[in-house]
DNA sequence: CAGATATTTAGGAACGTTCCCATTCTGTTA
DNA sequence: TAACAGAATGGGAACGTTCCTAAATATCTG
């Protein structure tokens, strides 16, 4: 593989001049032409490691996701790259799931000079040990997800609480009074926030909180299915607020399998607006998270830290949107 | 950030010795201890760019996908990383979709020394120009998908043709004789192969090919829905072989919306075995692609090229598996 | 056309590693 | 204790860039 010296020789000039040409500084037109020709003919590609070594800069940001093949993240990635593209950065992705590594193991990428910064996009809870490591790198890291406890690390999150609360109030406005809640995993911050939102919503509407109406589940289809199957007919409700779409669909199928109708007998709502939500039978009323914006903002904050050495902390919370479809009906 | 010289100084030795320690060569126990202490105290991390520069090696392979958030790829990635982990390589992912770049633009990553090799996992058709570029890098690239025309670039693919043919024969064995085919996009190799498989299957069973039974569609839910809606009642069939799951689900919903029953009135089959296939109503009979193995084999081939400088070309075709569920019934 | 100024260029240090080669240290044996 | 072998170490070139400084060349001005 030819290097910059080979190009210089071929173009009858020096490596400094070639370097200047490559980096957009002025070079005499004739020299420029010769260099361009040499590059073309020899098939020259600048070595990224050498460049990274001397500049201590890669123009790459890494994005760590628990499972990169989760369609859930598509909008977020598009949002991130819409910004990085503009500022001439590249994105590389790392998957905790398939690599069997945890999020923090990727922090080394910064120390090693492989990336200029990292977006930690797993939405996961962070323990004290993890946060200690993070804090050391707070000028090159942005967190997506709940970070309320660590005021000095920039984070972007969605207002999960508000989303669910709004959904509860919506069902209230349709006349529902016995509104059940299908809970999520208790070790995920977003799930905790959503459950808070349920209680918040009830309070807003003046409904008394009944712990029996909280149906314990996880965020899977099967989990939702089984959980609802267990309580159907035993506890009385006219609506179920799901804490995500998958489990809401499990609930829906459970209800249908019991010979009941959605929304005729029970109204069901979800959270996430997954791609099939618009096409299911019935189409699901759910909450759409502003993923594109989450990604955009995360990238903006990160590049700002990297390029402008912005040292200031920010915590950005974006509001989700309710999408009204046909899985709920008014009670007269 | 401390470098190897700082560690040497702190440990009262030379950078050569520290380097030797880091790379697992013998060092006097006392020296080793001092070095370890210095590394710990100063928080040393070897610089990847310097290392990459001198070794001309990164121990990283890149994986290019059209859309990394496609769950379709999950098994493949797990398969890839199961191998790379074993051989001490890391994986980084690149997404054509969100970066708005095409597959070939990522080839530069090799020239620039950012990765040791690339798995091109987009399953896409390649034109002559693209293949020319690829051929130059054939010792550092493995293609996933159809590559029958380029015998000198290693590729891994799934036997799409055989899969569909088997499905046709399965329906034949259930007594079906008027078997329709819901086609896919005509510019994707896998879709072309599947359509060939349909004809192949008919031939095997001794059914005459009737072009009217090929329902033109794409691989989307809506596409399948509309295409089947258009022909329902106009052409006569007892089964539809879908060329992927999404469109098969579109067909299924179309049939149900027309007041017909699946599998009572029409049998429907899919291809891909997406995650909801087991939970839908009815559960979908479909074809599962051996994604984990595709990933495994791709990684094995690539690392073999990189580390052992294996120059030999191979084209590996893996067989898919039919998963029998409840969307088909026997005609007596 | 000489001198002054502006533009363009070449040389070389630096970035942080690895690894070759020469040197020093350690321990054994006669 | 001298001689030696083997283990452990240190020095320095090399990797391919960037960028500073100084030199060379081109352009302008009176």
Strand boundaries in B66-172, DSSP class E: 90-95, 117-120, 141-144, 155-158
Q: What is the pLDDT of residue A279?
A: 82
Average pLDDT over residues B25-45: 95
- Cα B288 to Cα A69, B159, B270, B273, B328: the distances in Å are 17, 11, 9, 5, 16
What average pLDDT is seen over chain B? 93
Handedness of CA B215, B216, B221, B222 (dihedral sign): negative
CATH 1.10.260.40 corresponds to the domain A4-46: yes
Q: Considering only CB atoms, which chain B residues are within 8 Å of A1?
A: 111
Give yes or no for CB of A50 within 7 Å of strand C.
yes
The answer, yes or no, to whether residue A149 has pLDDT greater than 80, is no
Tokens in use for B18? 């520290």
Interface contact flag, A98 B279, Cβ < 8 Å: no
Handedness of CA B38, B42, B46, B47 (dihedral sign): negative
Strand boundaries in A168-254, DSSP class E: 179-182, 214-215, 239-242
Q: Give domain limits for chain A.
A: 4-46, 55-158+291-319, 160-289
Q: What is the pLDDT of residue A126?
A: 66
Specify whether the CB–CB gap between B164 and B241 falls below 8 A.
yes
Topology agreement, domain A4-46 and domain A160-289: no
The answer, yes or no, to whether residue A155 has pLDDT greater than 80, is yes
Distance B54 CA to D14 C1' (A): 8
Q: Which tops the pLDDT comparison, A332 or A20?
A: A20
B32: nearest nucleotide, CA–C1' criterion:
D8
Interface contact flag, A48 B92, Cβ < 8 Å: no
Which of the nucleotides in strand D have any atom less than 7 Å away from a protein CB atom? Answer: 7-12, 14-20
Cα(B242)–Cα(B191) distance, rounded to whole angstroms? Answer: 11
- A81 to chain B: nearest residue by CA? B99
Beta strand B214-215 pairing with B117-120: unpaired
Nearest to A94 among B70, B92, B113 (CB): B92
Instruction: Tell the CATH topology of B55-158+291-318.
Output: Rossmann fold (3.40.50)
Distance A28 CA to C8 C1' (A): 7
Q: What is the pLDDT of residue A145?
A: 85
Specify whether the CB–CB gap between B328 and B285 falls below 8 A.
yes
Interface contact flag, A68 B93, Cβ < 8 Å: yes
Distance B54 CA to C20 C1' (A): 14
- For residue A129, what pLDDT band results from cuts at 50, 70 and 90? confident
Lowest mean pLDDT among A319-323, B125-129, B278-282: B125-129
Tell me which of 3.40.605.10, 3.40.50.2300, 1.10.10.10, 3.30.70.270 is the CATH number of domain B160-289.
Answer: 3.40.50.2300
Q: What is the pLDDT of residue B148?
A: 64
Q: What is the pLDDT of residue A311?
A: 74
Interface contact flag, A100 B81, Cβ < 8 Å: yes
pLDDT digits (tens, 9 = 90+) for B125-183: 667 777 888 888 989 999 998 776 767 889 999 999 999 999 999 999 999 999 999 99
Q: What is the pLDDT of residue B125?
A: 63
Interface contact flag, A256 B281, Cβ < 8 Å: yes
Torsion over CA of B219, B220, B222 and B224, rounded to 10 degrees? Answer: 30
Interface contact flag, A279 B222, Cβ < 8 Å: yes
Instruction: Tell the CATH topology of A55-158+291-319.
Output: Rossmann fold (3.40.50)
The answer, yes or no, to whether residue A148 has pLDDT greater than 70, is no
- B180–chain A nearest CA distance, Å: 24
CA within 13 Å, CB half, B159: 13
Tell me the percentage of chain A whose pLDDT exceeds 90: 82
Residue nearest to nucleotide C10 (CA to C1'): A14
Q: What is the pLDDT of residue B280?
A: 86
Residues 6+ apart with CB under 8 A from B159: B317, B318, B319, B320
Distance B211 CA to C15 C1' (A): 67
Give yes or no for CB of B4 within 7 Å of strand C.
yes
pLDDT digits (tens, 9 = 90+) for B306-322: 987 777 888 999 999 99
- Cα B292 to Cα A137, B154, B298: the distances in Å are 35, 18, 10
Q: What is the pLDDT of residue B276?
A: 83
Distance B168 CA to D20 C1' (A): 73
pLDDT digits (tens, 9 = 90+) for A230-277: 999 999 999 999 999 999 999 999 999 999 999 999 999 999 998 789
Tell me which DSSP letter residue B107 carries.
G
**Which of B 254-273 have CB under 7 A of nucleic chain C?**
none
Average pLDDT over residues A135-141: 91
Interface contact flag, A90 B71, Cβ < 8 Å: no
Helix, strand, coil share of chain B (percent; to 5): 45, 15, 40
Closest Cα partner for B274 from B291, B254, B296, B297? B291
Interface contact flag, B221 A279, Cβ < 8 Å: yes
Q: Considering only CB atoms, which chain B residues are within 8 Å of A296?
A: none
- B316–chain A nearest CA distance, Å: 23
The answer, yes or no, to whether residue A161 has pLDDT greater than 90, is yes
Q: What is the pLDDT of residue B274?
A: 86
- A47–chain B nearest CA distance, Å: 5
Nearest to B48 among A68, A77, A113 (CB): A113
Interface contact flag, A98 B80, Cβ < 8 Å: yes
Lowest mean pLDDT among A205-219, A276-290, A304-318: A304-318
- A235–chain B nearest CA distance, Å: 25
Residue nearest to nucleotide D16 (CA to C1'): A50
Residue nearest to nucleotide D18 (CA to C1'): A54
**Which of B 40-99 have CB under 7 A of nucleic chain D?**
50, 53-54, 56
- B106 to chain A: nearest residue by CA? A90
Lowest mean pLDDT among A78-87, A119-128, A281-290: A119-128
Element housing A199 (H / E): helix A189-205
The answer, yes or no, to whether residue B230 has pLDDT greater than 70, is yes
How many residue pairs from chains A and B have C-beta atoms closer than 8 A? 131
- B11–chain A nearest CA distance, Å: 21
Tokens in use for A7? 């190009």
Distance B27 CA to D6 C1' (A): 14
């Amino acid at each position: 593989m030819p290097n910059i010296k080979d190009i210089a020789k071929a173009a009858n000039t020096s490596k400094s001049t070639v370097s200047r040409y490559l980096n957009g500084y002025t070079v005499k037109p004739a020299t420029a032409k010769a260099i361009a020709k040499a590059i073309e003919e020899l098939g020259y590609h600048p070595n990224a490691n050498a460049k990274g070594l001397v500049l201590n800069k890669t123009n790459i940001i890494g994005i760590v996701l628990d499972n990169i093949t989760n369609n859930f993240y598509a909008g977020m990635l598009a949002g991130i790259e819409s910004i990085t593209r503009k500022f001439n950065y590249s994105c590389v992705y790392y998957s905790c799931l398939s690599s069997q590594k945890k999020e923090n193991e990727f922090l080394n990428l910064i120390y090693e000079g492989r990336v200029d910064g990292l977006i930690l996009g797993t939405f996961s809870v962070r323990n004290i040990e993890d946060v200690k490591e993070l804090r050391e790198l707070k000028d090159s890291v942005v967190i997506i997800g709940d970070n309320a406890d660590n005021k000095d690390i920039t984070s972007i999150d969605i207002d999960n609480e508000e989303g669910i609360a709004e959904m509860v109030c919506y069902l209230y406005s349709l006349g529902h009074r016995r509104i059940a809640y299908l809970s999520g995993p208790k070790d995920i911050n977003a799930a905790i926030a959503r459950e808070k939102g349920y209680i918040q919503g009830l309070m807003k509407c003046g409904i008394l909180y009944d712990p029996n109406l909280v149906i314990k589940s996880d965020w899977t289809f099967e989990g939702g299915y089984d959980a609802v199957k267990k309580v159907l007919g035993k506890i009385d409700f006219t609506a179920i607020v799901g804490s995500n779409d998958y489990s809401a669909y499990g609930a829906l199928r459970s209800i249908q399998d019991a010979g009941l109708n959605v929304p005729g007998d029970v109204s069901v709502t979800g959270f996430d607006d997954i791609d099939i939500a618009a096409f299911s039978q019935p189409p699901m009323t759910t909450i759409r998270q502003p993923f594109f914006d989450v990604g955009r903002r995360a990238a903006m904050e990160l590049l700002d830290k990297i390029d402008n050495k912005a040292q200031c902390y920010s915590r950005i919370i974006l509001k989700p949107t309710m999408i009204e479809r046909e899985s709920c009906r008014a009670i007269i």
